[in-house]
Amino acid sequence: MLIKTIYNLLIKNLHLKIISVILAFIVFLAVHINNNKEVIQSLDIDLSLSLPKNNMIVNKIPRKVSVVLKASLTEIKRIKKENIVLPIKLKKSQTIILNEYNIPELKDVSVIQILPKTIDFVIEKIVEKEVPIQFNTVNELPAGYRYKKKPRLNDKFVTVIGPKSSIDLLKKVYTEPLNQAEIIGSESKILKLKLESSLLRFKNKRETSVSYEIIEEYTTKEMKEIKVKFLNCELDKNNIKPLKDTVKLVVKMPYSLKDKFPQNDFFVYADLKDCSKFEYLTSIKLSVAVPHKKILVKYIIPDTIILKKLHKKDLKKDLHNKINKIENEGNNKKKENK
């Protein structure tokens, strides 16, 4: 039974099975031929540099070289998997000529071209130097502010490391600019230090701090014709008349408050206690109430008010003056309406 089953498997559809075997062989042969067919391909290979201790390359060099190979696809795939690098050992400044002998992994393939063919290496000894720090500022302080304590760097020197030729040319290191338009109050600000050459670096720290103290300036404000308010006395009832009822007020205030409080916010007054007992002419000291505790009164002109006790004769004259004033105001209005 088993023999019959095997026989049927071998004989049944024999021509199809023969064709399948032939096709499989053709595919195998094509793949084998293709993998062994030589092709030309370019590969980028990294440089692996070895330098003497405390030395560095100071010129611009390529980090990769382009190698044009002629090899089978199988070899190309193998080379790609190996991540080949080009080792270069340097003891001094020199020009290196590149060829296939520099890359042992390529000994079994044909190297058509290596680009670049030569590389110049300039090597210098690494040294260090302590240089002064130059403070840098931009813009002006905000309006109404000034330095009480000028900006002062907390570090005067910094140590820089790099190739000797660059270090010899280095005279000072600058801070990033301090924007004075954005600083108010007393504080210490961190500033980064800047190096112009990418070959240089800082040994320990790459920043410093600056201390300063800024205070707000005071400005003087003058206000004219401020009406004096008379407290604790009815002037008309007590037949009292001020010889002058307006004053000029001069105050000193922080710059930031100069436009916040108009003239109407200032209160000048005379406290008229026991005004019924006033003499014919009485002098009263004026007082000022300011709208903010930081506002200081420099002076009032005048700083006293003279009050006159009116008698019958003065009352008639005063009444006559008031009537004339009212009539004049009425006549002016009529003229304006015409």
| CATH number for the domain harbouring residue 258 | 2.170.120.30
Domain membership flag for residue 23? no
Q: Mean pLDDT by 10-residue block, N- to C-terminus, for the chain (338 residues)?
A: 53 54 48 56 84 92 86 76 82 86 72 86 94 93 88 92 94 93 82 92 92 91 94 90 93 92 93 88 93 94 91 59 58 58
Asked if residue 194 and residue 111 are part of one domain, the reply reads no
Do 267 and 191 share a structural domain? no
* CATH code for the domain in which residue 169 is found: 2.170.120.40
In this structure, the answer to whether residues 147 and 72 fall within a common structural domain is: no
Same domain, 294 and 280: yes
pLDDT for residue 184: 76
Q: What is the pLDDT of residue 328?
A: 62
C-beta contacts of 111-118 below 8 A and 24+ residues apart: 111/67, 111/68, 111/69, 111/70, 112/40, 112/68, 112/69, 112/70, 113/67, 113/68, 114/65, 114/66, 114/67, 114/68, 115/65, 115/66, 115/68, 116/62, 116/65
Q: Which of 216, 245, 273 is the last residue of a domain?
A: 216
Residues 75 and 138 grouped into a single domain = no
Last residue within a domain, chosen from 121, 141, 163: 121
* pLDDT given for residue 203 in this prediction: 92
**What six digits make up the tokens of 166?**
């660059």
> What pLDDT score does 236 carry?
87
Report yes or no on 51 lying in a domain.
yes
* pLDDT (0 to 100) of residue 309: 87
First to last CA, the chain: 141
What integer pLDDT is reported at residue 35 of this predicted model?
45
* Residue 314 belongs to some domain of the structure: yes
Per the domain annotation, does 17 fall within a domain? no
For residue 13, the model assigns a pLDDT of 55
Same domain for 301 and 228: yes
Residues 225, 310 within the same domain: yes
Q: Residue 100 is part of which domain span?
A: 33-121
> Domain for residue 28, yes or no?
no
Which pLDDT belongs to residue 66?
Answer: 86
**Do 223 and 195 lie in a common domain?**
no
Do 53 and 137 sit in the same domain of this protein? no
Both 170 and 158 in a single domain?
yes
Q: Tokens 């080792």 identify what position?
A: 87
Based on the structure, what is the number of domains in the chain?
Answer: 3
Q: Is residue 26 part of a domain?
A: no
- Domain co-membership, 225 together with 311: yes
Asked if residue 299 belongs to a domain, the reply is yes
pLDDT for 128: 94
Using the structure block, give the residue that is written with the tokens 């520099």. 102
What are the distances in angstroms from CA 158 to CA 22, 126, 135, 169, 275?
Answer: 80, 17, 13, 15, 77
222 with 316, same domain: the answer is yes
Domain stops at, among 87, 121, 155? 121
Rounded to whole angstroms, how far apart are CA atoms 335 and 231? Answer: 38
Residue 186 lies in a domain: yes
